[in-house]
Amino acid sequence: MKLQKDLDHDPLDSNRYPIDLWKFSEFGYPNSESATLFSLSNGTIGVRGEANGPRNLGSGTFLSGFHETFSIRHAEEAYGFARVGQVIQGVPDTVDFKFSIDGKVLADPVKISQSVDFKAGTSTRSYTYEVGDGASLDVDIATMVCLFRADLMTTVISLRAHGRALNVHVEGKMNTDHPVVSRDVDPRKADMIADGGLRKLEVDAISRGVADQSFGAFHCLHSELTMAVGFCQQLDGKMIHEVFDVEVPDGDEKRVERFASYNSYPIDPIGIDRGLQVAIDGERNSAALISQCSQTINWAIDQGYSSIAEQQRQWLSDFWAKTDVLIDDDGDGRLQQVMHWELFQLAQATATVTNGVSAKGLSGTGYSGHYFWDTETYIVPFLIYTNPARARDILSYRYRMLPAARKRARMMSVDGALFPWRTINGEEASAFFEAGTAQYHIDADIAYAVYQYVSLTGDHEFMATQGIDILVETARMWESIGYMGFDGTFHINTVTGPDEYTAMVDDNYYTNVMAQFNLRKAADALEQLGNEDREAAVSRLGLKLDEPVHWREAADKMKLPYDEKLNIHLQDDDIMRRGPWDFEHDTERPLLLHYHPLVIYRRRVLKQVDTVLALYMLSSSFDLDSKRRDFDFYDPLTTGDSSLSAASQCIIAAEVGHDELAMKYFLESLYADVANLHSNTSDGIHLASAGGVWMSVVAGFGGLRDSGGDEISMNPRLPEQWQSLTYQILIHGSRLKVTVSHDGVDICRLSGDPVTLIVDGESRQI
């Protein structure tokens, strides 16, 4: 892959983006990526930063699960195609302000910057305006999305006068402008629809006795989802209206504190099984949402901004104390700074998650706000090892999708449940089935995450009540989609693996080996349940006694393509019959924007690692020589056009001794967003890439493996240019601090009961 930035040295301009371990700042006018890089979220509310041109893509503020729907128009119709599209819907902003002095609107600041503070959890936009007669006004707008209370965000406006006293007129009305964003040929961007969007509901909040608070309730025209927003502000301890004047003495500062609350009804995927998306009657229920907003605002007023800010700092202090990854590379701190930025994205995107986690979190409209297998494969592992309660929340949302997944399975003529490739509300929203529905491996990815979670946390209650249902229904899907061939092996045909440049193939290795894991672990999990839980599961799922026997038989006879001459695992049955890609001349990237899919499909070229990913996911199933041969064969064929690829390439490259390649791929993951390596940071962060950065460090250079919950091992491969690496993990409630240096591995148990690990091939009790 030809990167747009030279990663042999710092790809960021240190004058524009200065190095600060606990802050990421940008000095100068923002560009199209800035709104993403300085976005904030708590997993329920997301708000974008300042950008060049319109601040919002559809809006600058988003709510988890809040989306509009539209009818998908296929050029040629066929049975089973996705019919209803879903797109994240922007909601009214409460962080837009206009400032005037002497009737003149302030524009074109002489200085502008913005920053995000990883310890305070705030994003600040700063402006300096010249206002005549040698006077100037400094304006700071600091936003905080509350990490410990899902429906609250705050904004503090700081005004400083220089040269003379200034009377500043401030307009802080709710911004309800949601421009339509048209989709271009890039499928990574959002679908937007001209005839949908928000309709404002009539609400007379003042008549309800809520003085000095502004409210609005809005209803999506097609999805019929409803949300409400309210805010108030205070100056010098007194409540003021949304349009106000501030007298700022020369050399002094005035602060306006705004408290805002957003509320909507949670998405209910279970309702889809009744044949329709559960619609909330906005006219009837908006009052309840506004009431909740008002309660939260009043709570915030009683607490006071200083107290809320301190609670936010304490939340982040606890996060960093337990989750920080420390890299001693004898450098200038840039590596550690961006590592903190990546971890901060994971923290804020999952803090109060209830409706799952999308590929972009709540930082933009990329991929229409959908979430995919990224969640379970790249984000859930981070949470399992650092904040298992959040991992359970995400997996519970997948459990609530089961009715819709069963419905989708019936439509696709398979048993059990088939989870959607891309979705917000539980229904399949992918209109391109070759790289969408055909990626059946998502069932195994979710099952893998369920088993990994339970194995590493010991949460058997979750397995008995939710996890076992997912494992059983996905195992049923695999048994029904495959067949026993004349060669005596079990085949799964016409699927697409993680590599979307190789579509609709027979016996994709990753799909088959993950399905094999799924089938076996479903049978194992049933056996491991207590008698009462097993009987309840059998009754609830209508389980036949011989089903687990058939799952094991399919798993044991699974076709896993292998080339005896090359001694490599084949990505699929036909990969060696496809022609080579001309890497020397056909160099435009990403390929999907420059070549028809058929041109790509008939060649031996990969968008992202496929078989190599299996080497990491199911590490204990492969020896080191086998991993090296597979990696050496597939790595030159991989373009890395997917932001997900580099992390897995880093992990296996480190394990097999390709140290320079491992570092190259680590830096590609690390700088994917902040250096805009994939030319689409403007659409939102690559949240799975952030999870991949953590995996690259902990699993790649730290050598951590669990093979989906089996034996836990560590075989570190510390880069030569690093002095040490330190991180913490949770295993069965025991917190371990791991320090890797060139002298070896030091593991200290900080809390909990002793645990046994395999370290450098030897069993060690910690």
Structure tokens at 682: 């403007």
- Using the predicted structure, report yes or no on whether residue 389 has a pLDDT greater than 50: yes
For the chain, how are helix, strand and coil distributed in percent, rounded to 5?
Answer: 35, 25, 40
Task: Label residues 408-442 b or e (16+ Cβ within 10 Å = b).
Answer: bbeebebbbbbbbbbbbbbbbbbbbbebbbbbbbb
687 and 643 in contact (C-beta within 8 Å)? no
Best CA proximity match to 155, nearest among 139, 168, 167: 139
Task: Write down the mean pLDDT value for the chain.
Answer: 92
Q: What is the pLDDT of residues 737-747, one digit of tens each?
A: 999 999 999 99
Cβ neighbors of 299 (< 8 A, separation 6 or more) are: 149, 152
Q: What is the mean pLDDT of residues 714-719?
A: 97
What confidence tier does 169 reach under pLDDT thresholds 50, 70, 90?
very high
Predicted confidence at residue 637, as pLDDT, reads 97
Structure tokens at 311: 């609670």
Q: Cβ atoms within 10 A of the Cβ of 711, count?
A: 13
Coil, helix or strand at residue 99:
strand
Radius of gyration of the chain (CA): 26
Q: What is the pLDDT of residues 634-645, one digit of tens each?
A: 999 999 999 999
Q: What are the catalytic residues?
A: 500
List residues bridging with 46 in a β-sheet. 41, 62
Q: What is the mean pLDDT of residues 279-301?
A: 80
Q: What is the pLDDT of residues 265-279, one digit of tens each?
A: 877 776 554 333 344
Q: Cβ atoms within 10 A of the Cβ of 766, count?
A: 17
What confidence tier does 197 reach under pLDDT thresholds 50, 70, 90?
confident
- Using the predicted structure, report yes or no on whether residue 179 has a pLDDT greater than 70: no
Structure tokens at 590: 């990403």
Q: Which helix (H) or strand (E) holds 26?
A: strand 23-27
Cβ neighbors of 410 (< 8 A, separation 6 or more) are: none
Predicted confidence at residue 204, as pLDDT, reads 60
Query: SS3 sequence, 610-679?
Result: CHHHHHHHCHHHCCHHHHHHHHHHHHHHECCCCCCHHHHHHHHHHHCCCHHHHHHHHHHHHCCCCCCCCC
- Using the predicted structure, report yes or no on whether residue 188 has a pLDDT greater than 90: no
Predicted confidence at residue 259, as pLDDT, reads 98
Q: What is the pLDDT of residues 644-654, one digit of tens each?
A: 999 999 999 99
Predicted confidence at residue 211, as pLDDT, reads 60
Burial of 84 (0-12, 13-18, 19+ CB in 10 A): middle
Q: What is the mean pLDDT of residues 250-262?
A: 97
In this structure, is the dihedral angle defined by the CA atoms of residues 349, 354, 359 and 361, taken in order, positive or negative? negative
495 and 508 in contact (C-beta within 8 Å)? yes
Predicted confidence at residue 202, as pLDDT, reads 75
Best CA proximity match to 140, nearest among 164, 117, 160: 160
Max Cα distance, the chain (Å): 90
Q: What is the pLDDT of residues 666-705, one digit of tens each?
A: 999 999 999 999 999 999 999 999 999 999 999 999 999 9
Predicted confidence at residue 52, as pLDDT, reads 65
Predicted confidence at residue 280, as pLDDT, reads 42
Q: Which long-range contacts (CB under 8 A, 24 or more apart) does 662-668 make?
A: 662/700, 662/701, 662/717, 662/719, 663/719, 663/721, 664/7, 665/696, 666/693, 666/696, 666/697, 666/700, 666/701, 667/7, 668/1, 668/3, 668/7, 668/640
